[in-house]
Amino acid sequence: EILRLFKLGQIDIVHLGPLPYVILKNSYPQAEPVAAVKEPDGKATYTCAMVTAFDGPTSVRQVHRSIAFSQPLSTCGHLTAGYLLYRYGIKLENLHHEYLGNQDQVALAVVKGNYEVGTMKAAVAKKYTNLTLRIIEETPAFPGFLLVANKVTVTPDQISTIRKILLSTPPKDFGGLVLGRYGFSPVVDSSYDLIRQNLRFSR
């Protein structure tokens, strides 16, 4: 719905994960990346993980039953699962899967044994290790979330000004931000090639 409204010109700037950004850019060239949002470790990248309960599979190659995702366009959803399963010759479509809304719900459902495995950001998974959630395998570092401007509704000068302000914000001012509290980085579009190459796993 957000991508649809963006393409209709009803959204000027949007905060997207890497997979939704690539999907949007493929169909709407007027999407202009403004700045990448840094993670708590100060990097503009993150990894996704396949997780299970304490008595679940010890390897991705043992996964054969069910998998839980947060949302259809989550980078740590179909794309991550397909990427990891493909390496072991397992087809995602052979597994029962459901969308649970957010990654915290995925973690809790997997811990309860409602699903054999789930996928989520590795940083989220690590919050639930005290509930015996285990990471089976992680992806390579994916490019991070980013702010994207709509060139149909935002002028080039406005985009340039916003980008300069975000990238020049001193660290002492990060604490007052909700989005971007760890800072911003320039967007390197080629870093999203890894997502583009594995886009087939999100379908």
pLDDT in tens, 81-93: 999 999 999 989 8
pTM for the full predicted model:
0.86
The residue behind tokens 């010109």 is: 9
pLDDT in tens, 4-58: 999 999 999 999 999 999 999 999 999 999 999 999 999 999 999 999 999 999 9
Q: Average the pLDDT over 75-83 and give the result.
A: 93
Q: Spell out the residues 6+ positions from residue 144 whose beta carbon is closer than 8 angstroms to its own.
A: 18, 36, 37, 38, 39, 43, 44, 45, 46
pLDDT exceeds cutoff 70 at 202:
no
Q: Spell out the residues 6+ positions from residue 184 whose beta carbon is closer than 8 angstroms to its own.
A: 35, 36, 37, 38, 147, 166, 167, 169
